[in-house]
Amino acid sequence: MLATLWLVALSSLVAAVVFAWRHEKRPPEVLYQEPGWMPAAKSDRWKCIVIHHSASEEGGAERFDEWHRKKGWDELGYHFVIGNGSDTADGQVEVGSRWAKQKWGAHCKTDDEFYNQHGIGICLVGNFNGHPPDTKQMQSLARLVGFLSREFKIPPSHIYTHGGVTGKTQCPGKQFDVELLKRMVAAK
Ligand SMILES: [Zn+2]
């Protein structure tokens, strides 16, 4: 009799432990991100993402920063640059100096300046009129855009290309496939 009671008590205890373990509050899924992607203080200005190519086969944030300053701009106009193995590693994401400050961009001029004021500018190194971005660049871009979309509540319909919004440039090149990017982001 006593042994039966003990057995009942023991199995109840085991059941309780298993129940507690199963219903344990799971930590939220950790979003993939790299150092610098999350600014110290998030701005609520960001409404869309604008993709660019450099139209050059070589480059990186430092070189483009020089180019942009020579044009008389304040600093690198993009918020992020994704390397192609020339100045930086293939698929390496560089965080531009504006991003930490959550500062407006200088990458997508329109009369109302909407895309510079509210668009996060990402530039992939390469000229995608001649060839598409390589796999590592697209994977990094999808991870970055996925992170930014979720953190700043930017829907897929607000992922744009430079030429797509201005109609005045082929940037980011005829072989850049924005629909492929959206599918890659959605799959993550
Ligand atoms: Zn562009």
Rounded to the nearest angstrom, the distance between the alpha carbon of 107 and the centre of ligand 1 is 6
- pLDDT at 12 (0 to 100): 72
Nearest-5° angle of CA 92, CA 96, CA 97? 145
176 C-alpha to ligand 1 centroid (Å): 12
Q: Which pLDDT does position 18 carry in this prediction?
A: 61
Q: Distance between CA 59 and CA 56 in Å, rounded?
A: 7
Q: What is the pLDDT, as a whole number, of residue 11?
A: 73
Give 188 Cα–ligand 1 centroid separation in angstroms. Answer: 26
CA–centroid distance, residue 174 to ligand 1 (Å): 12
pLDDT of the residue at 26:
59
Mind listing the pLDDT tens digit of every residue in the chain (188 residues)? 667 667 766 777 666 666 666 666 655 566 799 999 999 999 999 999 999 999 999 999 999 999 999 999 999 999 999 999 999 999 999 999 999 999 999 999 999 999 999 999 999 999 999 999 999 999 999 999 999 999 999 999 999 999 999 999 999 999 999 999 999 999 97
The whole-number pLDDT of residue 62 equals 98
User: What is d(CA 87, CA 62) in angstroms, rounded to the nearest whole number?
Assistant: 9
Which pLDDT value is given to residue 6? Answer: 73
Give the Å distance between the CA of 129 and the centre of ligand 1.
12
pLDDT of residue 30: 67
Measured in Å, residue 26 CA sits from the centre of ligand 1 at: 42
Question: What interhelical angle do 135-151 and 178-186 show, nearest 10?
Answer: 60
- List, in sequence order, every beta strand (DSSP E) within 106-157: 119-124
Cα 116 to the center of its chain, rounded Å: 17
> What's the rounded Cα separation, in Å, for the pair 54 and 125?
5
DSSP 158: G
Class in CATH terms, 48-186: alpha beta
At CA 153, angle to CA 147 and CA 155, rounded to 5?
90
